Structure 1
Amino acid sequence: MTTKLCKDCKHVKLPHPLANFAYGHVVAFPMCAHPTATVDPVYGHTVEKCEMARMGPNCGPDAKLFEQAPPYEPPKLVPLEPVEPIRTGFLERIFGRWF
Structure 2
Amino acid sequence: MSHGVKEITPQELLEKLAAKEQLQVIDVREVEEWNEGHIKEAKLIPLGFLPHRTDELDKDIPVIMVCRSGARSHRATEYLCELGFDAANMVGGMLAWPGEKEV
Higher relative contact order (CA 8 A, sep 6+): 2
Return the TM-score normalized by structure 1: 0.25
Going by fraction, where is helix more abundant, 1 or 2? Answer: 2
Return the TM-score normalized by structure 2: 0.25
